[in-house]
């Protein structure tokens, strides 16, 4: 019985089901240490998510985040800068799945709030911190930074100290912004897992 369950787990892969259903819209399927990872063409993300929820039992969107790949050693300049990563959970099947969509700075990624309403705040966070634009989002505005904040602080090219600082001006009796005069200091060079270890 246990052997049958393990066998079914390996033969009933969601990536293959997605390939059969969506064909060329599924760009890559790989098996990670924790779960399958599927790279989806950007225009197909909502339809793929509907299929995964209704046909494959992924009831929950556990997380959605942005990734800036611009300084990753494997990133090529002709590839999109950002990844939008979706972590899905099927409680009924005890399975997890990771979806990825590639996007450049001005590309529109369709919102999946119609599939999982919890995507609302996750997408707002990715918009705020990375500048990824989610098309058809019901309320796409900043969620963690101030209304007057300029830039997106989790982009790799954003200065560590920020571009402006806020202080209280006694004469104007209000908070004002002024350009930040601090310079970035790099004390330790960046390392990548497996890249510099013998």
Closest CA to 39 of 86, 74, 71, 79: 86
Residue 42 · residue 104 · CB < 8 Å: no
Q: What is the dihedral of CA 147, 151, 153, 155, to 10 degrees?
A: 150
CB 21 within 8 A of CB 43: no
Question: Terminus-to-terminus CA distance in the chain, angstroms?
Answer: 43
pLDDT of residue 158: 83
d(CA 180, CA 162): 7
**Structural domains of the chain ordered from first start:** 2-146 (3.30.460.80)
Please state the pTM of the whole predicted model: 0.79
Q: Could you read off the pLDDT tens digit of each residue along the chain, which spans 198 residues? A: 433 443 344 447 899 999 999 999 999 999 988 899 999 999 999 999 999 999 999 999 999 999 999 999 989 999 999 999 999 999 999 999 999 999 999 999 999 999 999 999 999 999 999 999 999 999 999 999 887 788 899 999 887 766 677 778 899 898 887 777 656 566 667 666 665 554
């Amino acid at each position: 019985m246990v052997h049958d369950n393990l066998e079914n787990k390996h033969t009933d892969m969601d990536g293959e089901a997605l390939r059969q259903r969506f064909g060329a819209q599924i760009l890559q399927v790989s098996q990670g240490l924790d779960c399958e990872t599927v790279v989806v063409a950007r225009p197909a993300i909502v339809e793929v998510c509907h299929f995964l929820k209704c046909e494959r039992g992924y009831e929950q969107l556990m997380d959605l985040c942005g990734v800036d790949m611009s300084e990753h050693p494997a990133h090529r300049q002709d590839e999109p800068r950002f990844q939008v990563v979706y972590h899905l959970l099927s409680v009924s099947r005890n399975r997890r799945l990771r979806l990825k969509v590639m996007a450049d700075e001005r590309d529109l990624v369709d919102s999946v709030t119609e599939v999982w309403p919890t995507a609302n705040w996750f997408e707002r966070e990715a918009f705020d911190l990375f500048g990824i634009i989610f098309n058809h989002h019901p309320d796409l505005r900043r969620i963690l930074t101030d209304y007057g904040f300029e830039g997106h602080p989790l982009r790799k090219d954003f200065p560590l100290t920020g571009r402006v600082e806020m202080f209280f001006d006694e004469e104007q009796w209000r908070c004002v912004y002024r350009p930040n005069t601090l310079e970035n200091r790099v004390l330790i060079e960046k390392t990548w897992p497996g890249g510099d270890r013998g």
